[in-house]
Amino acid sequence: PVQIAMSLDIASISSISESNMDYTATIYLRQRWTDPRLVFHGNKSFTLDARLVELLWVPDTYIVESKRSFLHDVTVGNRLIRLFSNGTILYALRITTTVACNMDLSKYPMDTQMCRLQLESWGYDENDVIFTWLRGNDSVHGLEKLRLSQYTVERYYTLVSKSQQETGSYPRLILQFELRRNILYFILETYVPSTLLVMLSWVSFWITLDSVPARTCIGVTTVLSMTTLMIGSRSSLSKTNCFIKAIDVYLGICFSFIFGALVEYAVAHYSSSQKCAAKAPPEELTKEMEEVNITNILNSSITSYKRKISFTTIEISSDNINCSDLTMKTHEKIKRVLRNKMHRIIGYFTIQNPSNVDHYSKLLFPLFFMLVNVFYWAYYLYF
């Protein structure tokens, strides 16, 4: 088999797309092999015209998982053929390719992605050709000098593998590199504004319960602002919304705290209005008291009247006097008993002092938000 030694020079990585899960890179691919038929005398090497490629045997190397690739041809085809006296051929190409890269965005934007560039023979199996790296990891150049907008190249290494296909076993070379996302941009664009919105919602705790327009305005404004921020953060990754990302979790936490501050005012204001209403006696209870007082007066008048005429032969029996119409009816008594029990049950769940709700919220909301932040950053940064 023909042994083909390869080396790569990564000129640039123009884009890394999370929505399409691929990256676009411009590479210089250099392949070396020896053809005994091309041995000649002397110590010189010759650079041949690129059009002679059609007359030579060249390996059928292709890029695995490539979506789009093209060979540069300005001003002529960017190909180099150099022939050495021992029959060694150097074949160099300048290629721009878009390669798929499966990304795990569950920790976005604190994620680290592992991408690959794989070279494989298309038609010649391992019995025909053998792929090797020219100098191991030193066969790859340019990655350490790359300056990317969102990523930093942490490390890279080369591998030699085989691809088992139905038609045979084919040699494969793998360049694997690790990309770590720069989080500073997302901290300034998303994390800091969302945190400030949560803190802004806490301002309502220092406003009195009677200031309904002020507290309602702060609550509704912060909720709407947080919703806009969440929509904006997801619009950049519209095709990856199926992922629950770390930034989505944080925005959800912030939205929950902002919405909780709005609900807290609703609870406090409702409790305050109920307490004010409880101080004034209801109209129904006043009517019942009046009915009871009239009944007692009539009963006492009848009793005194019976005592006054007790010395006569006329006997006044209480059975002859029907006071049922003057007293409360049975179903009205049942209604009153049930109403009293309901008031007692509601009393157990009624906040006795609504002003304490704001007092406790001033302490509990910031405390819980700090604890949630500690767990959030510890989990996504160290686990």
Which ranges of 48-132 does DSSP label H, i.e. alpha helix? none
pLDDT at position 51: 86
CA distance to 137, 229, 239, 296, per residue, from 236 (Å): 35, 12, 9, 78
- % of the chain residues with pLDDT over 90: 62
The CA-to-CA distance between both ends of the chain, in Å, stands at 47
pLDDT at position 56: 92
pLDDT at position 28: 97
pLDDT at position 301: 55
CATH class, domain 2-181, is mainly beta
pLDDT, tens digit, for every residue of 99-124? 999 999 999 999 999 999 999 999 99
pLDDT at position 233: 86
* Topology at the third CATH level for domain 185-279+359-382: Methane Monooxygenase Hydroxylase; Chain G, domain 1 (1.20.58)
pLDDT-flagged residues of the chain (< 70): 238-241, 277-329, 343-352, 354
Instruction: Quote the CA–CA distance of 362 and 374 in Å, as a whole number.
Output: 19
Helix (H) or strand (E) holding 290: helix 283-308
User: Taking the domains of the chain in order of start, what are their residue ranges?
Assistant: 2-181, 185-279+359-382
pLDDT at position 318: 45
Nearest CA-CA partner of 8 in 32, 28, 23? 28
pLDDT, tens digit, for every residue of 118-127? 999 999 999 9
pLDDT at position 282: 53
pLDDT at position 269: 86
